[in-house]
Amino acid sequence: MLIPAFAIVGGLVLLVWSADRFVEGSASVARHFGMPPLLIGMLIVGFGTSAPEMFVSALASSQGNPGIALGNAYGSNITNIALILGLTALISPITVHSQVLRRELPLLSLISGLAVYQLWDGELSRNDALVLLVVFFGLIAWSIRQGIRQRADALGMEMENELVVHSMPLGRAFGCLGIGLLLLIASSRALVWGAVEIARQLGVNDLIIGLTVVAVGTSLPELASSIIAIRRKEHDIALGNVLGSNLFNTLAVIGIAGTIQPMTVPPEVLSRDMLVMTGLTLFLFLFGYGFRGSGRINRFEGATLLAVYVGYTAFIAIEVLSKRT
């Protein structure tokens, strides 16, 4: 079991590092070709923080491990809201200023409902996956249009301030992009192999490994970004990282994985994981939207989110132990 465990740890470390290099290279190349900083932030950085989930789920699906593909995406969504936002709000309460984010909060709730509807029959067909991808690209086009029209929005200004600082020669930028992409693929392969082996040796469903170890590992970029943002008092970026990642996971990550290989969905995904994910999304919408002013997630609500994550993880652990005895 030592070698698979080493493959998981090493794969996660390399995955996070290579995703960072990929984002740096992509952003620099885009800037060299005149792409506005706001769009770089919305598209390339948003893609980069979700690149670990995308590569891991796509590879798991192609190798016939749907449990890891589904668990990684939906487990990351649960981790992003309950663990990352909960921890971030404990450090400093999160106040939502950006109108972009206030529009994305109800969108994320609707898209979570779409995901539940698609999986209700216990199958994720290729047509279901294609619908998710169409919605994703439509949402990207809408976000680009809104981002350009409302450039003065708080989130847009913060993204531009964040991105104009970094620059590198074009050759080095392409090098970072290429190396990051290759290492993303290699580290994803190591992580999926290690996760499958650990699941086999422990006698548990690979869905469990995907929901826990893999989901937390692939969410590390969002954790780092949100904590750095909240320490800089950039609350909109802290929340924007999580919203963007969850939209990407629900639409693009599952859409790509389902297009590669249609999946049979275990019943516990609907009765346990989707229920928790949807409940957390509604919680985030109710407290983050701000119906009478700016939305706010205070320390008590952050502690509640963390408690939900601990309870959810404990429930999974108890469930696994009860099946082994």
Nearest in space to 15 (alpha carbons), one of 178, 193, 218, 206: 218
pLDDT of 155 reads 47
Domain regions of the chain by residue span: 41-162+203-324
Q: Which of 83, 30, 92 is nearest to 228 (CA)?
A: 92
Q: Averaged in consecutive runs of 10 residues, what is the pLDDT profile of the chain (325 residues)?
A: 81 76 70 60 62 83 86 91 90 74 80 90 92 90 67 49 57 78 78 80 81 81 75 73 84 92 89 92 79 73 93 88 72
d(CA 242, CA 234): 13
pLDDT in tens, 50-64: 777 888 888 888 888
State the helix-helix crossing angle for 235-248 and 220-231, rounded to 10 degrees: 160
Residue position matching structure tokens 């008590």: 300
Quick one: pLDDT at residue 154?
47
User: Vertex 249, ends 245 and 251: CA angle to 5°?
Assistant: 115
What's the pTM? Answer: 0.82
Closest among 159, 130, 126, 124 to 46, alpha carbons compared: 159
Rg (CA), the chain: 19
Backbone dihedral region of 183: left (phi > 0), alpha (psi from -120 to 50 degrees) or beta? alpha
CATH 1.20.1420.30 fits 41-162+203-324, yes or no: yes
Furthest-apart CA atoms within the chain: distance in Å:
61
What is the predicted pLDDT for the residue at 325? 64
Q: Cα separation of 86 and 103, whole Å?
A: 21
What pLDDT shows up at residue 64?
Answer: 85
CA distance 262 to 80: 26
